[in-house]
Amino acid sequence: MTRVAVFPGSFDPMTNAHLDVARRASGLFDRLVVGVLNNPKKAPLFQIGDRVALIEASVADLGQHVSVDAFDGLTVDFARHHGAGFIVRGLRAVSDFEAELQMALTNRKLAPEIDTTFLMTALEYGYVSSSLTKEVARFGGDIGPMVPPPVAEALVRRMADGARV
Ligand code: PNS
């Protein structure tokens, strides 16, 4: 049986915490599709194509069974589209759990055949978030420990262009 999982998120941008979860999931599933939500209600720092490209560059060493795809609409529809039986989400701390439980139970109601799998982020990335990374980058702080190198370069370029976070 082929085990397929999707790992959905906003990824604006991908952090080392996300990458750590993708790496762990890539060892558990036969195929892993990182799903990048194209949410028209949010104004992201990175456009959808850039977010996909930065994740592709960051997960390149995880293997051919890991791919990246943009989606809009429901995560469960995206999962079904890829024939996935699992949704992967990362947990950094207990504070993540309440919202994640609500999402997982909503997704289960919508698609009982799909299970959400939570993976704990490595302790060293427990503090890392996309929004704080953008804030640190905006004020010229060192984001090297927080994001993969292609993302760090893109963030520095974006900030030099005068982007607002
Ligand atoms: O990286 P994020 O912002 O924490 O990811 C949240 C995401 C994209 C997983 C969540 O907002 C989502 O699944 N959105 C798609 C719409 C959907 O399926 N909503 C109902 C279930 S929560």
Question: How far apart are the CA of 11 and the centre of ligand 1, in A?
Answer: 11
> Which atom of ligand 1 lies closest to the CA of 76?
18
Question: What was the pLDDT predicted at 165?
Answer: 65
Question: What was the pLDDT predicted at 22?
Answer: 98
Question: What was the pLDDT predicted at 163?
Answer: 73
Q: Residue 46 in contact with residue 31, Cβ under 8 Å?
A: no
CB of residue 110 inside a 6 A radius of ligand 1: no
Half-sphere CA count of 47, side-chain side, radius 13 A: 2
Question: What was the pLDDT predicted at 164?
Answer: 65
Q: Nearest 10 degrees: CA dihedral of 106, 108, 109, 113?
A: 160
Backbone angles phi, psi at 124, to 5 degrees: -65, -15
CB of residue 90 inside a 6 A radius of ligand 1: no
CA distance linking residue 107 with residue 76, whole number of Å:
6
> Which mutation among 10, 51, 76 tests ligand 1's pocket best, with the greatest number of atoms within 8 A of CB?
10
Q: Nearest 10 degrees: CA dihedral of 75, 69, 133, 155?
A: -150
Q: Catalytic site residues?
A: 18, 42, 92, 130
Block mean pLDDT (10 aa), the chain, length 165: 97 98 98 95 93 98 98 98 98 95 98 98 96 96 97 95 73
CA distance linking residue 118 with residue 45, whole number of Å:
27
Task: Quote the tokens at residue 112.
Answer: 């009982």
Which distant-in-sequence residues (6+ apart) come within 8 Å of 112 by Cβ?
Answer: none
| Other beta carbons within 10 Å of 149 | 10
